[in-house]
Structure 1
């Protein structure tokens, strides 16, 4: 496992000796979204249940300025080498955001800019990962947990050609949704087992509930078996 530290923080206003770019390991955006949802749910689960769509609107506004690097390189060549005219002030702002800003939440009439994290830990294939500690940490103490670029598995990942018994509790890792397998069959379309799952959302409901599940179809290998 590799780790990057930016020891100059929290005195981050003096950037002369700090790296001029910040490369994000794989899965970082999903990990940040997952951590924010968990923190909000822990603070006020009732609010999150009622405002779930609003929470996802908030998270959809998350962008990572370093993702602009490829386009910025082209602009830099056109401006610095070819000598094309540009708005110098706007160009300096774009460079500053890419070099110094970790995340931006953009909304109508409001924009929240976050500094870069001072510590990143990642595993093979450039995936955000740490065991028993934050994989991404900011100077104010806030951090994000990650396990091989995602959440730590709660159960056993289904293997190829593995049948899942109807009634089995499962989780869809890339969305964090929980459900119960309704039907599982071998599909000639995908040459593997396919399933209908009754999903309940981010958690299983209690015994007495008016929650109505929603049915989706997923390949068995995309599921995590919880039973």
Structure 2
């Protein structure tokens, strides 16, 4: 019995959640890995012939050109000091003796990639001003030491090996901070935009807002949806439905 279901669907609910099901008589699927996902990833690969990366760098260039206009629209914008580090901010007016703006990302994957790809491709911190690409998953990431700070990620995932994309933003702020949360979404043609923000204020330190934007192309079959996960550090987890 073959059933067409979304990835990670439990076996016990596959019958109710299947969009199509049919029965075969010779058990041929066992020859190709036991399911259609393995068959089309290993035996009959469905992937583009040419690798390309999302044009993240050009998008950041355009944002940098607009940075003065952006900050002018934010009342009493604090022009923070990045400090001497390339992977975090240690401005005492924002974080006291601590630090913030340290972004880590990691992706869970089910393909047998060599270990040496881990740091560059799917488990790393963001280094400011560094443009980095990785052919595994067609990943492109970039950031700028600009105000406001931006870091952009683009993931093609044409190999269909990544299941979850996770972000963690480390910001050491006082526990006495007041906190406001904002979120919402907007759809323009085939693009779905989701945003989520945490704004901290009310202590002697400058107020701080961390904002995440996540965009799906609804016409791309392997695009992914957004869920939210929070912990003592701000974390975002975007599951990729392959």
With the shorter chain as reference, the TM-score category is: under 0.3
Structure having the larger proportion of residues in helix: 1
Q: Select the structure with the greater relative contact order (CA < 8 A; seq sep ≥ 6).
A: 1
TM-score, normalised on structure 1?
A: 0.22
TM-score, normalised on structure 2?
A: 0.21
